[in-house]
Chains A and B, each alone.
Chain A
C-alpha cells in the first residue's frame, strides 16, 4: 500500500495549528443537502469539490458538513452557507463548477454569488441573506 498511516500523521503534525483554527467557529459553516433527493441530483461531486477548493485556497476557518432534506427537492443540490452570526445564504442547483466560484467569491472574499442563490425571481435578486 503506497499510502501509510505514518504519512498521514506527518501531514497532521504539520497542519495542527490550522486544524485548531478551523474549530475556532469564526468563519463560514457550509452544509450540503445529502438526502436521497440531493444525492440523486449530484450532491456528492458538490461535496467533493467543496473539500478540494477549501483545501486549495487554504481556507482554514471553513467547515463543510451535511444536512438532510431541506424540503425543496426540485432545487437540489442545495448548499447553505452560514456565517459567524448564523446568517444563511442558500445556493441552489449547484454543480462542481458553481462551487468553485462560491468558494472563491463568497468563502474567500465574503461576496455572495447572488445569481446562484434561491432568491432570484424573474431575474431580479432579492436580499439573499436570511437572518439567523
Chain B
C-alpha cells in the first residue's frame, strides 16, 4: 500500500465484515517520541483464538473467493519494516483491536496520505455502522464522530453526496488545522504568529 490511510481503509473493511456497529479509529502522531500509532478497534463478531495465532499468515483467510488474506499481513509487515510493532487482540462476541506502530521518521514509512478520502470512502461503505475517529498530532486533537452527525441530521446513513462532500471538507480542514502540512501534499507555510 502506498499510503497508511489505505491500510486503515482496508483493515476497517474487516470490521464491516465482522458486522461491527462501531469502529473506533485512533491515530497518534508524536514528533517528540518519533512515533506514529494507528489503533483500530471494533465491536464486531471477533476472531476465535485458534484463528488469531496465525491471522497475519498471508496464506490464511476465511474468505472463499481467493486463497490469500493480505490485509493484516501487509499492515504488520509495514509496521515492522519501520522499526515499529503490530498487535492484534480479539474476543469472540466482543470485538477486535488492531494496533500498528511506526517510527515516524523511518525512511520506509509510507506517508499517512489522504485521510479525508479514506474517511469519505469508509463512510460510504459503513452503512449504519458508526465511526469514531480521533487524530492526535503532537497533542493537537481532531475528532470526527458519525453518530453525532447522524443524530443532528436524524438519518441512519450518511451515504448521500451532499453529506459526503461536507464530511470530506470537514475532515480535510480539521486535519490541516492540527497538522503542520496540508494533506493534499502542499506544505503549509507557518509564520511565528500562527503557531
Contact = CB atoms under 8 A, between A and B. Distances in A.
Contacts of B149: 5, 8
Nearest to A5: B152
Contact of A51 (B17, B120, B127, B177): B120
A36 B61 CA distance: 12
A64 B160 CA distance: 9
Contacts of A40: 1, 6, 10
B103 to A, nearest CB: 23
Interface stretch (B47-55, B80-88, B165-173): B165-173
Nearest to B5: A44
Contacts of B117: 44-45, 48
Given A19-B160, A40-B6, A73-B66, A68 B13 contact: yes
Nearest to A15: B162
Nearest to B11: A36
Given A2-B173, A68-B63, A12 B125 contact: no
A52 B117 CA distance: 12
Given A35-B13, A71-B65, A8 B163 contact: yes
B124 A64 contact: yes
Interface string A29-47: 0000011110110011101
A7 interface: yes
Range, interface on chain A: 35 or more
Nearest to A19: B160
Contacts of B17: 68
A11 B162 contact: yes
B117 to A, nearest CB: 5
B80 to A, nearest CB: 18
7 tightest A-B CB contacts, nearest first: A55-B161, A66-B125, A71-B65, A3-B170, A36-B71, A36-B70, A69-B65
Given A1-B177, A51-B161, A55-B165, 7 more contacts: A34-B9, A37-B70, A40-B1, A51-B165, A55-B161, A68-B13, A71-B66
Interface of A: 1-3, 5, 7-9, 11-12, 15, 19, 22, 34-37, 39-40, 43-45, 47-48, 51-52, 54-55, 63-66, 68-71, 73
7 contacts: A8-B149, A15-B162, A19-B155, A36-B10, A65-B124, A65-B159, A71-B65
